Amino acid sequence: MLQHLIQPAFGYTAESLSGVDGQRNLCVEYGSYYFTILVYNQDKSVIQIETYVLKEGVDAYTLEYILNTDTYKNEIFNEVILVANGPDVSLVPQKYFKAHISDSIYESIHGDQDEVDVTFDQVEQWELVNVFGVDKNIHHFLHGMYPQTKVMHFVSLALLAIFKNNLEDLDAFAKLYFSPNYITIVLIKGAQLQFAQSLYYETTEDAIYLLLNLFDKHRIDLTDVKTLVSGYIDEDSATWKELRKYILDIDFEQAPIQPSVSDKDNAVSTHFFTPHLHVLQCV
């Protein structure tokens, strides 16, 4: 990939990054095919968001290039959070979890071929522990640049956001977060978590099949379940149109900002930003 061609696919800026050093914070979120860079104040208000979609996948060299652009290279951040958004998560009941078996849990389910650092999040609101892998090269680079870096997983933060914001919907509730080639599904039934995982898909048919099969497996009534959708899905897309055919109570989850994009000829809906803002709310 030619680094000089790396540009944000879309972004939002609330104000200048200038200000008192150490009063701003940085959150780097990555999935299989994207980086999102969030800069925010101590009160969690957004200063800037940039999302980079990368067809060849993410790596530490691309992140280094992004963070050494004029936007970020001279900034001093108080706290730095690295949010992994990959499919290799394992939710373990809190009462059965022991920290020293994290590697064994991860490797027994996901194998030992990927270069990852195995870690875990305590998801106390759901009495769960999320064991996951974070890309070793990305993690080591960011920690080397910012020794204060902490690591969390998107699914952990999504579960916390649902607990905070959607308690009234927990009898039959689903959230769908779309990212490039992945859909993260969180499914609640009877106030109990049924499913929380990222699944790979290539076509509209793939996404619809995965979702309907999951609902059927958990005996979710498509006429009753409240479903909120956000992330990289266009309201004119075939996927959105097909979702509306099957699910009665479905809507986009809007973000409380007015976005701007790098390409002024394209419009980005506010729900593109919603997953990242929920992450920010919960870190």
The predicted model scores a pTM of 0.91
Residue 98 has pLDDT above 70, yes or no: yes
Q: 166-252: what CATH class?
A: alpha beta
The reply to whether 166-252 shares the fold of 1-155+254-283 is yes
Q: Report angle CA 230, 165, 196 to the nearest 5 degrees.
A: 60
Q: Are 171 and 162 in contact (CB under 8 A)?
A: no
CATH 3.40.50.2000 fits 1-155+254-283, yes or no: no
pLDDT tens by residue, 203-257 = 999 999 999 999 999 999 998 899 999 999 999 999 999 999 999 999 999 876 6
Model pLDDT, residue 1: 47
Residue with more model confidence, 82 or 41: 82
- Domain spans in the chain, listed from the N-terminal domain onward: 1-155+254-283, 166-252
**Residues of the chain above pLDDT 90, percent:** 66
pLDDT tens by residue, 56-79 = 999 999 999 999 988 898 888 999
Chain-wide mean pLDDT for the chain? Answer: 89
Three-state DSSP string of the chain: CCHHHCCCCEEEECCCCCCCCCCEEEEEEECCCEEEEEEEECCCCEEEEEEEECCCCCCHHHHHHHHCCCCCCCCCEEEEEEEECCCCEEEEEHHHCCHHHHHHHHHHHHCCCCCEEEEEEEEHHHCEEEEEEEEHHHHHHHHHHCCCEEEEEHHHHHHHHHHHHCHHHCCEEEEEEEECCEEEEEEEECCEEEEEEEEECCCHHHHHHHHHHHHHHCCCCCCCCEEEEEECCCCCCHHHHHHHHHCCCEEECCCCCCCECCCCCCCCCHHHCHHHHHHHHHC
Model pLDDT, residue 262: 52
Model pLDDT, residue 227: 95
Q: How many CB atoms lie within 10 A of CB 159?
A: 24
Between CA 115 and CA 93 the distance in angstroms is 26
